[in-house]
Amino acid sequence: MTGVEQAENGSFDEIELNGVTDKVRRDIFERIKRLAGYRPTVAVLGKTGAGKSSLGNALFGREVFEVSSVRAGTRQPKSLTAAILGVDMDLVDFPGVGESRDRDEEYRALYREWIGRIDVALWVVKMDDRVLAPDIDYFEQVIKPAGFPIERIVFVVSQVDKADPLREWDLRQHKPGGKQAINIDDKVAQLRETFGVAPAQVVPVSAEERYNLESLAERIIYACPDEAALNVARALDSDMKTDVIRETVLGKAWSFIKEFYSNNSDEIHAAIAAIIAKLLKNGRR
């Protein structure tokens, strides 16, 4: 059985690596198995009506996932059941930011309870939303104090096909017209300044028009911790798996492995690359 075939079947123990001891070989492939068995958690935050569910479905496959809701009083999310080869992932849609004054403190407590389990977060803000005070409040009062790494949050400007002027949207090429593009850029700049994040952390998209989803997927994988990137990428819709994502996942996988083994030999790196490529290819049925 070839290394590629073993990668497909999840059996790595018989792959030959010349120039390394049996212990090192076992350790390397044990790390890869740990990556392939890691269960990542992707959080989707934002106001009700921001398009969180449609965005999750567009990224991870409408026929595969239904986004679960964590409601007030519910302390455990509904695990997602997906037709994914060897991938188990939680995609958690939190209660809408600023949705209910009566339940605001309960929602805050729920956010605080979950914050330590989240690998990467998508904070969704609708293109035409001009009231950011609730988002800012949660960001400043809940996310920052909890110590969640800001670089692991991707801010998403959703429904940009509804940007003014509506008539400019290019229905053939599924992209904004000139004045729309300017208004979208202004919204992106507003979020960057408001939340104090890097330019690449704010991504404008339209789930309905499938506009800029690949760029968002690339940013999500970049924001993932090393151990989560592989399985989040495997769970993505096949259209989202760009060369950039493959290279990012490989780099993060190697970072995870080389923590204990610093010999960056061409043979070992090539073997890991072949396994990762096969896992990504077969990530979804």
Per DSSP bridges, beta strands 120-126 and 202-204 are unpaired
Sign of CA dihedral 60, 63, 64, 70: positive
pLDDT for the residue 18: 60
Q: C-alpha 18: how far from its chain's center?
A: 36
Domain ranges of the chain: 3-36+242-281, 40-228
Q: Mean pLDDT, 10 residues at a time, over the chain (285 residues)?
A: 43 57 76 87 86 86 56 44 58 72 72 86 94 89 86 97 94 95 97 95 96 97 96 89 94 82 69 82 57
Instruction: Return phi, psi of residue 226, to 5°.
Output: -55, -40
Give me the pLDDT at residue 242, please.
Answer: 93
Question: How is the beta sheet containing 41-46 ordered, strand by strand?
Answer: 68-69, 90-93, 41-46, 120-126, 153-158, 202-204
3-state secondary structure of 175: strand
Q: What was the pLDDT predicted at 63?
A: 55
The kind and range of the H/E element at 158 are: strand 153-158
C-alpha distances out from residue 203 to 51, 128, 138, 217, 268, Å: 14, 15, 20, 10, 35
Q: What is the pLDDT of residue 269?
A: 78
Q: Which residues of 60-78 are buried (b: 16+ CB within 10 A; e: fewer)?
A: bbeebbbbbbbeeeeeebe
pLDDT at 37: 87
What's the confidence (pLDDT) of residue 70?
59
Chain centroid to CA 82: how far?
16
Q: Give the whole-angstrom CA distance, residue 248 versus residue 245.
A: 5
Beta strands 90-93 and 41-46 are: parallel
Single-letter code of the amino acid located at 134: P
Which CATH class name applies to 40-228?
A: alpha beta
**Contacts of 151 by beta carbon, 8 Å cutoff, 6+ apart:** 198, 201, 223
Question: What is the DSSP secondary-structure string of 222-240?
Answer: HHS-HHHHHHHHHHS-GGG
pLDDT digits (tens, 9 = 90+) for 131-158: 999 899 888 888 888 888 999 999 999 9
Tokens describing residue 236:
């993505």
**Quick one: pLDDT at residue 48?**
78
